[in-house]
Chains A and B, each alone.
Chain A
């Protein structure tokens, strides 16, 4: 018989990475994302007995996290148009072409409207099916599929519109 503590630690170890990334893409700020994940896991600990099926853990945690994120906006209204200033993740060691591309694509993803980026992140990062995402976001499945289509479409167009040479070439 697993104790509550063991269950909790297993849950943290298995899912904190995914949850953190998801939180990061929700709020675009490292510190806020970390706080969100902490709040989420604290709530998860209190309600751990209500989690019957271990397979349902990930959607369950994501639902808690989304609620926490919504609460953050109730407490304090952020000006959403300002988020471009909150810079998009680590750019310290942009060395290879690959990382340059990552950086560039991150900016594009961050610029997607949240209603498009959220299902995309859930699908790509979380590996959820269209139905799963629809339940988590309280949406119709067709709506989710349309948003996924639009999200990828926008990213693809942006990639195609991009100049072949990116970055700064000195000399």
Chain B
């Protein structure tokens, strides 16, 4: 290792521990002296570089970070609250929608479902009979009146027709009971004049404020029933 190389190496890194530079120092006193000088210079540089650090800098740094992360946390909780509120609102709306919207879109479907649901409750040859006066008392709610009885009325009472208060009448039919609904008009269910499935036929009549729906099996003449109803029912106002 020549002198220039040695000097460069020591200048670049006085604590140089390369085998070459150490060997060079051992063989040459002047090189050793030079290396010591530069090490001393480095000590001086080291001391000079040790500028005093402001007091309390570390506390300041920790304080700033604590404040900053506190703000972030506050923002986060606000976001969480907003999220929770949104979920609650959506949940509430869904519940509302599911509970109060009808599964059926037209009168016919609902009427058929209703009849099937209560099929077991009425026997065609039941002995009880509802009088015309009792029927008309109930009809008063719908501002309607029957002038004469249409047949043997087995049952007459209010019931919920897709959430609407309506009158449910069951007459004795030829083979099975004939069901008549008096339902206030409603926009949720679309009007369907005639409907049927494999067993039952139905037809609806539209009056001013109400619909009258007749559901019966295939042995009954729906036309006859409709005619009878139209001729006997009268509406006040």
Give the interface of A toward B (CB within 8 A): 8-9, 12-13, 16-17, 20-21, 24-25, 30, 34, 37-38, 41-42, 45, 89-90, 98, 101-102, 105-106, 109, 120-121, 123-125, 130, 145-146, 148-149, 152-153, 155-156, 159
Contacts and interface: CB of A to CB of B under 8 A. Distances in A.
B49 A41 contact: no
B45 A130 contact: no
B44 interface: yes
B48 A102 contact: yes
Contact of A148 (B11, B62, B65, B68): B11
Interface in B32-72: 38, 41-42, 44-54, 57-58, 60-62, 64-65, 68-69
B48 to A, nearest CB: 4
Contacts of A148: 11-13
Contacts of B53: 16-17, 20-21
A152 B108 CA distance: 101
Contact of B51 (A16, A89, A123): A89
A159 B44 CA distance: 11
Contacts of A156: 11, 38, 41
B54 A30 contact: yes
B8 interface: yes
B62 A90 contact: no
A77 B73 CA distance: 36
A41 B65 contact: yes
Contact of B12 (A42, A45, A146): A146
Nearest to B52: A90
Nearest to A31: B54
Given A148-B11, A148-B12, 14 more contacts: A16-B58, A16-B61, A25-B49, A37-B57, A37-B61, A42-B65, A45-B65, A105-B44, A106-B48, A149-B12, A152-B14, A152-B42, A153-B11, A159-B41
A30 B55 CA distance: 12
A123 to B, nearest CB: 7
B221 to A, nearest CB: 82
A155 B65 contact: no
A9 B62 contact: yes
A38 B50 contact: no
A14 B28 CA distance: 41
14 contacts: A8-B65, A20-B57, A21-B49, A42-B65, A89-B52, A124-B45, A125-B50, A145-B12, A148-B12, A149-B11, A152-B11, A156-B11, A159-B41, A159-B44
B58 A13 contact: yes
A21 B50 contact: yes
Contacts of B60: 38
A16 B55 CA distance: 11
Given A16-B58, A17-B53, A123 B46 contact: no
B57 A16 contact: yes
Contacts of A155: 41, 45
Contact of B49 (A13, A101, A121): A121
Nearest to A127: B15
A89 B54 CA distance: 12
Nearest to A120: B45
B9 to A, nearest CB: 8
A41 B13 contact: no
Nearest to B43: A124
A113 to B, nearest CB: 16
Contacts of A41: 61, 64-65
Nearest to B38: A152
Nearest to B14: A152
